[in-house]
Amino acid sequence: MRVLASISLLLVALFSAPLALAQVEGYVPGLGDIMTTIQMRHIKLWFAGRLKNWDLATYELEQIRQGLEDAATLYTGIPAEYVGATVDPIREIDAAIKAKDGAKFVKGYGALTSACNGCHQGINRGFIVIQVPNTSPFSDQSFAPPTTR
Q: Tell me what the mean pLDDT of segment 3-11 comes to.
A: 52
Q: Evaluate if residue 129 carries a pLDDT over 90.
A: yes
Please count the structural domains in the chain: 1
Across the chain, what does the average pLDDT equal? 89
pLDDT digits (tens, 9 = 90+) for 21-69: 555 678 899 999 999 999 999 999 999 999 999 999 999 999 999 999 9
Domain hosting residue 123, numbered range: 30-137
d(CA 10, CA 23): 20
Handedness of CA 55, 60, 65, 70 (dihedral sign): positive
Q: Is residue 144 part of a domain?
A: no
Q: Is residue 93 part of a domain?
A: yes
Q: What pLDDT band is residue 16 in, cutting at 50, 70 and 90?
A: low
Q: Is residue 117 part of a domain?
A: yes
**Reduced to 3 states, what is the DSSP secondary structure of residue 130?**
coil
Q: Evaluate if residue 128 carries a pLDDT over 50.
A: yes
Share of the chain above pLDDT 70, in %: 83
Q: Is residue 71 part of a domain?
A: yes
Q: Is residue 79 part of a domain?
A: yes
Q: Evaluate if residue 20 carries a pLDDT over 70.
A: no
CATH number at residue 58: 1.20.120.290
pTM: 0.81
Handedness of CA 73, 74, 76, 80 (dihedral sign): negative
Q: What pLDDT band is residue 84 in, cutting at 50, 70 and 90?
A: very high
Q: Is residue 2 part of a domain?
A: no
> By C-alpha distance, which of 79, 80, 87, 94 is closest to 45?
94
pLDDT of residue 132: 97
Q: Is residue 111 part of a domain?
A: yes
Tell me the H-state helices in the chain: 2-22, 31-50, 54-74, 80-84, 87-99, 102-122
Q: Is residue 103 part of a domain?
A: yes
